[in-house]
Structures are given as structure tokens and as C-alpha cells.
Amino acid sequence: MTALPERLLSDPSVRRLIEAALREDLGTGDITTQCIVPADARAKAVLWAREPGVAAGLPLFAAVLAQLSDRVRVRLKVAEGRRFKAGQALLEAEGPARAILSGERVALNLLQRLCGIATLTAAYAAEARLGSRHAQLLDTRKTTPGLRGLEKYAVACGGGTNHRLRLDDAILIKDNHLKVAGGIEAAVELARGAGMPVEVEVEGLGELDQALKAGADSVLLDNFSLAALRAAVKRVAAHNRRGLGPAVRTEASGGVTLKTLRAVAATGVDRISVGALTHSVRALDLSLEFLPG
């Protein structure tokens, strides 16, 4: 990845997000800057990394400042998805001082969160590879409201794979669906009418057998122990060898951490979904400093 995809930069929802964030921060105006900074003052600023990480969302810096002035020029110094070191310059911005001062907090809030997600995802992806070259690391819908597209983009920058972006992207039958639909067999049969692959969340080997019998395309193994995961993988492999239909994929989910991820991957599951990539991330420490003169 070398740049934030044009589809995101031009996405009306991202543009509205930036506009709303600036309205929230500016109110009726940046009083401090308007009082002490001349309207014609120009400045040059550098965004520094105070800790190592993975770049994600840097082009948003220019998108934020462009809402305040079309005369700000931003030059990226690190490509998206690339690692950077503590003390490294990530970008330079030059233009009207008022615009840079008034927009820096909104821009930093976005960049620090997205770089934090990419950095955490890269750590998880590395652990997953140590357990298995086969397992995919997935994100979830446990995202910040309004930021899902950007947060999932950051996951991809860190080496993760995006699961559903929205509820209309795929069919995933979870435990509460099953309670309403009347069980796994009935739910899978009803879901087939949508003409899409069907994934079913199961909470034990008994429910796994039901999902396989019902013809599920994927099974989400929710909060399985390592021993149960290994047994489930063997059971699904045996089912697939019988060739009764397309191969069923396995997905481990629930309580996966950096400490447990390698062992989970080693069980042989196809995919591992981790909500913590987006819902428990720490913002990366970045700093914007104005150069003298």
C-alpha cells in the first residue's frame, strides 16, 4: 500500500466525518489563533513519531487541512503500510499558519488512532504467522461509530484482512439469530434464500456437527478452548474430505489476545477474528512541531 485509496479520500462519509470533527473542535472559531496569529502568516510544520509504528491514514492530514485552506501543501515522507521508527518524520506541512494550527488536533486524532490500529494489527499478524502460515487474521465490526471504513483500512495497512464492512456484505448467523430462527438447521435453510455463502457461529462440537449437516459454508468457533479448536478442525477436515460440497472454512473467535494468538493459529483454523484490533487500540504517540522562522 502506498496511499490512502482514492475511494476513501473521495468518500462522502469520510468528507462528512472530517467536516463534523472540525465543527466539533472549532465551534465558532479558533479564538486563540485568530487573536495572536496574523491572517497572512505562513508556517512549516513536521509530524514526528515519538514511538515506532506502522503508517496508516497519513493522507488524511492534507484532507483535514484542505477544509480550512486550499493553500496548505503536505508532503508525505512515509508510505502507507510502512514501518517507521521513533523520531522519524512522517510528513511536512507548509502554508497558512492559521489553517495548520486550527486543523492539527483533528488531523492528529485521526492519524494517531489509525496508526495505532495498523501497529497493533502488525503485531498480531506477526504472532499469527509464527503459529501458522495458513491462518488469516480478520477484524470485526467492533469499530468506532462513523470510523469503520478508515479503521478497517488501517487494519489492512497492518497486514490484517477485512471481514464484513457492513451487515449487507455477508451472512453470519450468530447465537441470538438462532434463538429467534429456531435453531441451526432452520436458520441455514432460511439464509440460503439470499444466494450468499452462509457462516454459522457455534459454541461447541455438537453445534458444529449441526452446522455441517445443515450445509454451512463457514463455521465461527466461538470461545473454543485450544483442545476444542483442534478437534473442530479435524472434524471439519474429515467432512471436507467426504466431498459433499464446497470445503467448509473454520474461524476462531472470542477472547483472542497477543499471548494466545500463536497457539490459536497453530490449531489449524483457517481464520482468526480479533475485535481488539479496533475496539481496544491505543492511539500512537505522534507530535506536530512548527519549525522556527
222 is annotated as an active-site residue: yes
- Give how far the C-alpha of residue 4 lies from the chain's centroid of Cα atoms, to the nearest Å: 14
Which residues, at least 6 apart from 177, have a Cβ–Cβ distance to it below 8 Å? 187
Alpha-carbon separation of residue 69 from 39, 91, 101, 110, 113 (angstroms): 12, 18, 11, 19, 24
> Which residue among 44, 141, 142, 230 is the active-site one?
142
The CA angle 138-142-147, to the nearest 5 degrees, is 100
Alpha-carbon separation of residue 235 from 105, 208, 231 (angstroms): 52, 9, 6
CA distance 213 to 215: 5
Q: What are phi and psi of 82, to 5 degrees?
A: -95, 150
CA distance 65 to 147: 19
> Which residue among 207, 217, 222, 251 is the active-site one?
222
201 is annotated as an active-site residue: yes
> Which residue among 174, 179, 234, 282 is the active-site one?
174
105 is annotated as an active-site residue: yes
> Which residue among 77, 83, 105, 192 is the active-site one?
105
C-alpha dihedral over 8, 279, 137, 216, to 10 degrees? Answer: -100
83 is annotated as an active-site residue: no
> Which residue among 30, 127, 201, 251 is the active-site one?
201
* Per-position DSSP letters for 74-108, written without gaps between them: EEE-S-TT-EE-TT-EEEEEEEEHHHHHHHHHHHH
142 is annotated as an active-site residue: yes
Q: Which residues form the catalytic set?
A: 105, 142, 174, 201, 222
